[in-house]
Amino acid sequence: MGALRVFITGAGSYVGRAVADYAMRAGYEVVLHSRYGHRGGWLEVPAVFPVEGPLDGPDMPGLLTGCAAPIHVAGRMRGTEDEFRKDVVEDSAALMRAAAKARVARVVLAGSVSVYGAGEPGEVITEDSPVEPRPDLRDAYMRAKLAQEQVMRVEAEKAGMDLSILRLGAIWGPGRLWTAHFGPTKGPVLIRIGRDGQVPLCEIDRAGEALVSAVTAAPCTVNVLDDDLPDRVRFLNALSVSGWPRVILPVHWRLFDRIAGDNPKRPGLLRRPTLRARMMPMGWDGSRAVDALKLSPQHEFEALMAANLIAGVGP
């Protein structure tokens, strides 16, 4: 038998490229899929097969045939409700139907820890924690990721396929060192909302390793997070050698909580569920993923930041 083949959607994205790198190092044949066409870089690499086209296109079952699993990374980070519905929810359902036609046994989803509700201050979020009960008061990305999980579970059950959902923490790494868990920014100034609790980070190499490892591990739904999760102050101290932010204005999260409300028309952090999910001090547990996927131990946070830090980083 030859090498196992994996099919990576969103292969040109930040996470997609990390998945492809890890899969090639692990000895897989890799099919790199892009909805919008490839832009070079992978075309001359042996054992890499670049393909393109819509995920709901008629060619998808044929492209998936013979793959051990598609690793579904494709989506979007920002956009309108209609764009999220098409590119995240509807395309995911189409991929599942194509995988069923191709008789693929398993699909691996790059999900997000954003689907959880905030719980109570100091609570530790695990895979047993409830998802957000008021997605209408969260952002379009979170709503799409929650709907994506739901539609893929339905399609997997109909087809009798295994589905592994890896709820990734906030992705960070070289060239991408900022997340939405700190507060508003303006130029060199950060309004830091809160200081305690853990920032739910997932370093890019861990994301790549976890998603590839899920191809052969037992089916699971797990939180993929770094071993060493800093609080906001520790994160900013490690980032400070970059020179940004130059000014930090600390504000207690409860001050924002007093003025936040449940009106969907309010902007971002002035909607209470959005504010609490991002800024309320909570703990995060990723131990199940480490055990289920046999993930490699990581260095402590400061060492990872030093390795990934680049000059001139900003939000």
Closest CA to 113 of 125, 100, 105: 125
Cβ atoms 107, 152 nearer than 8 A: yes
Q: What span, in angstroms and rounded, lies between the C-alpha atoms of 185 and 191?
A: 6
Cβ atoms 197, 280 nearer than 8 A: yes
Cβ atoms 96, 156 nearer than 8 A: yes
Express each pLDDT in 215-225 by its tens digit: 999 999 999 99
Express each pLDDT in 89-127 by its tens digit: 999 999 999 999 999 999 999 999 999 999 899 999 999
**Mean of pLDDT values over 290-310:** 94
pLDDT at 313: 44
- pLDDT > 80? residue 187: yes
pLDDT at 315: 44
**Mean of pLDDT values over 179-189:** 94
Q: What span, in angstroms and rounded, lies between the C-alpha atoms of 156 and 114?
A: 22
Q: What span, in angstroms and rounded, lies between the C-alpha atoms of 264 and 254?
A: 20
Q: What span, in angstroms and rounded, lies between the C-alpha atoms of 206 and 224?
A: 8
Centre a 10 Å sphere on the Cβ of residue 80 and count the other Cβ atoms it contains: 10
pLDDT at 44: 54
- pLDDT > 60? residue 251: yes
User: How far out from the chain centre does Cα 207 lie?
Assistant: 8
Percent of the chain with pLDDT over 90: 88
Q: What span, in angstroms and rounded, lies between the C-alpha atoms of 198 and 191?
A: 18
- pLDDT > 90? residue 72: yes
User: How far out from the chain centre does Cα 139 lie?
Assistant: 15
Length of the chain in residues, anyone? 315
